[in-house]
Each structure stands twice: as structure tokens, then as C-alpha cells.
Structure 1
Amino acid sequence: MESIIKWQEQTLGEKVVKALQNNEFHAIYVQSKEEAVAFIMYHINKGTVVGIGGSVTIGQLNIERNIIENGGTLLKHTEGSTDKERVEIMRKQLLSDVYLCSSNAVTLDGYLVNIDGAGNRVAAMTFGPKKTIIIVGVNKIVKDEASAFETLKLGACPLNNKRLNLQNPCTVGGICTECNSNRRICRIYSTIKRRPIRSDITVVVVGEHLGF
């Protein structure tokens, strides 16, 4: 049974990569997160400034020590940071040498679909960093743009609210209700249909389940 699931995931992953390439993204398919880490580290040398967007996927790569050992400088908000410090780091990430993040969903026709709170992640994905690397597990593949947003309402949106311990309706009911809470973090809905003109973006589709 596992081999059948792997077959489908790889088939869809490779299909998504071709669609992304048709949309002018640089895109590759790798089997494992270790291969994804190796690809990232190829772009990081001594003095490379690396911005990391808030991402469960990137956290699962356990890549921060590798970056530091390679002489890279990390730009990442930490739990102990003040709001002012977080905003300053977000601004600096827009000018990083390499920006690492994930996408909430990727469609079979090669669109990157995201929902953000502050918008710093989708801003960096579209313009600013010299190089943006987007890591996407095969679990984030969806049919199309409409199904992407529906999937996020059931998955990433309530799960991220719960992860951040936010007292919004979705952390009670387990699904997005399009609430009017002043603590709402689903504020910017973004679809990137083609590679932004002046951005160097690689989408790495990984044959594992990463993030949500």
C-alpha cells in the first residue's frame, strides 16, 4: 500500500514541477528532505544572509545549524523577540541573500497559493531577496486555486492558529469561519501564477509530508 501512495505522490509531484517550469519558475523534485537541505546548502556560503519565514516545513528540515556552520547569518524571529524586533527582522529579510519559506499549497497547474497575516512572507516570495527557495511537501499539492483555499480553511489556517495559541474561532471549531476577530491572522490571500519578473525563485517539491 505504501508503495502505491509513494507512486501517486511522486507522479503528482513531478507533474507539479513541470507546471511550475511552464510558469517560468525554476522547480525540481527531490525524494527526501535531506536532498532538499543539500540543495539549500549549495546556495549558502560564508557571509550569506539567510532569511527564514515563519514555517513549520523549514523547521522540520533542521537546517539552522548547517547554515551557521557554513558561515551564514540567520535572520529569524524568535519567541523572545519584542514586536518591534520582529518587524525589524521581517524588513531585513526582504533584502536577504537567500530567503527560505514554504507555500501553503501548490496547484497541479503550477500556482503557489498562500494565506498570510502580516504579509511579510508573501512579500519576500514575490520581490526583494536575491534568491528565494520555497520548500513544498507533496501533502500540499491540490487540484486548483479554488480547492487550495478550501483546503487551507480546513488545514493550515486552524492548525497555525492553534500552533500560535491564538484564541480565534477556528481554534475551537477546528475550521476557518471567516471570523472578524482582531486576532485573525488570515488577512492576505495570495496566488502567484507565474514567476515574478525580477525574482529568482526555486520551488523544491519534496516527496515527503512536510508542514501543513
Structure 2
Amino acid sequence: MINLIRVKNALYKNGFICDIFETGQDAVNFFMNFLKFCESIGMSGSVTLESLGLYDKLTDKGIKTFWHWRSDSFEETFKGAAAAKYYVSGANAITEDGKVFIVDANGNRVSSVSFGHEKVFFFVGRNKIVRDDQEARNRVRSLALPLNYKRYTDQLDGRDIRGKYENLKMEDMYSQELFLAKAPRYQDTYIFLINEDLGY
């Protein structure tokens, strides 16, 4: 059984701000309390965020939200997300010793979770907890990457993000990886651990 409290304590030791929630909706409700003085938010591509309906909740609240999954102009949306006050993301894995692991195709998520925003928030289901760095990589290659590739090819009919109809290869979706071994120094980084399976 996954010990979320132990993972939370490890994340705290590494400088992250961490809370545990029973459901994704509980985490969303808590997150909405941060938005009183926020005028813009960037979002990473994330099945977890999509399943939580976060984009619609933010736009309904009148917050300018940049999400390339809801845009015809990927490059401009990436730039808007990078310049936003807050950034929200999923994670590919969290290790038991408190590291955050993400992979990226374009660099937008790797850069945004590392630097440039006042606050960064990760929504992470219990299914993303892994033992160590190697298990994090194995999880992505054996599970998340094939499922993500299928989603892209099903939804986008093989388009790459520049809108050209080309053969998108699975390895193109794992061009970059990042372990956040410690919380980035110049921002507040929040990890919302959720006691549900979310995303892949």
C-alpha cells in the first residue's frame, strides 16, 4: 500500500509544499483558494488536469488560462503559459524519496515547472508514486508513453504541434526529462498528492 504521508514528508524535506487529498475534486477546491489575486495561469498538457475539468473551472472564474490542448495556436499559447503568474501541471512520477519526474516533447513543461512563475502546482494521483528514479523512467516508457502516443495519434490524426501532418513517432514525445530533486529556489512549488488513480 502506498504511504502518501511518507511521500509527503520526503517532498517537504526537499523543499516542496505538499498536501494530501482524498479526491481530485478536493484538491481542485483547495487550489481555487489561491486564485484571488491571480490574473493568468498556464497549464501543461495533462490527462490528470483534463479529467479534473480544471481549464473550464478557471475560465469560468474569469482567469486568463493558457492551455495548448484548447488552442489552435500552440506556439502563442506556449508563450502565454510561460509568461503567466501561476503554472499548473501533472507529473509523470513522484519517487518515494521526494523527487518529481516529468518528461516533455517540446520543453514547455520542463521550463515552466523550473523557473519563471510565482507559484507552480502539481496535481498527482497515487498511481504516480514509484520507488526510485529508475522505476520512474520505466513507468513512463512502459505505460505512460504508449498511452500518451495513442491519445495523440487518435485525437490529432498524426499532426505534430506545428500543425503539419507528419508521422509523429512515439520517441518524439520523450525528448526531454527532468527530475526536480529539490524545489526550485525562486518560486513556491506545491504538490497535491491525491488518493485516487489519475492520468497515466
TM-score (norm 1): 0.82
Write out per-residue CA displacement over residues 158-189 of structure 1, whole angstroms, 9 at most, x where no aligned residue: 111111018xxxxxxxxxxxxxx597211001
Give the 3-state SS of the residue equivalent to 1:194 in structure 2: coil
Q: Percent identity?
A: 27
Larger radius of gyration: 1
Q: Which residue of 2 aligns with 1:174?
A: none
Contact 1:50 1:74 in 2 (8 A): yes
* 1:61 corresponds to which of 21, 29, 52: 52
SS in 1 for 2:41: strand
Aligned partner of 1:95 in structure 2 is 83
Q: Is the 8 A contact 1:95 1:130 kept in 2?
A: no
Contact 2:38 2:86 in 1 (8 A): no
Distance in 1 separating the partners of 2:146 and 2:170: 16
**Shift of residue 80, structure 1, vs aligned partner:** 5.8
Compute the displacement of 1:25 (Å): 0.6
Task: Indicate how the Cα distance of structure 1 residues 110 and 90 shifts in structure 2: closer, same or farther if over 3 A, else same.
Answer: same
CA distance in 1, matches of 2:70, 2:26: 29
> How far does residue 20 in structure 1 lie from its aligned partner after superposition?
0.4
Instruction: Give the C-alpha shift of residue 118 in structure 1.
Output: 0.4
- 1:152 to 2:140 alignment: yes
CA displacement, residues 67-120 of structure 1 (integer Å, 9 cap, x when unaligned): 123221111114661xxx211211221121221111100000000111110011
- Are 1:51 and 2:39 an aligned pair? no
1:13 equivalent to 2:27? Answer no
1:77 aligns with 2:68: yes
Q: Name the SS of the counterpart of 2:20 in structure 1.
A: strand
Question: Does the C-alpha gap of structure 1 residues 119 and 80 become closer, same or farther in structure 2, counting only changes over 3 Å?
Answer: closer
CA RMSD of aligned residues (A): 1.9
1:41 paired residue number = 32
Q: How does 1:134-173 map to 2 (within 5 A)?
A: 134-165=122-153
**What SS is found at the alignment partner of 1:43?**
helix
Give TM-score, length-normalised by structure 2: 0.87
- 1:191 equivalent to 2:191? Answer no
- Contact residue 110 and residue 177 of structure 2 kept, 8 A: no
Instruction: Give the gaps of 5 or more residues in structure 1.
Output: 1-7, 167-180
How far apart, CA to CA, are the structure 2 residues paired with 1:76 and 1:58? 11
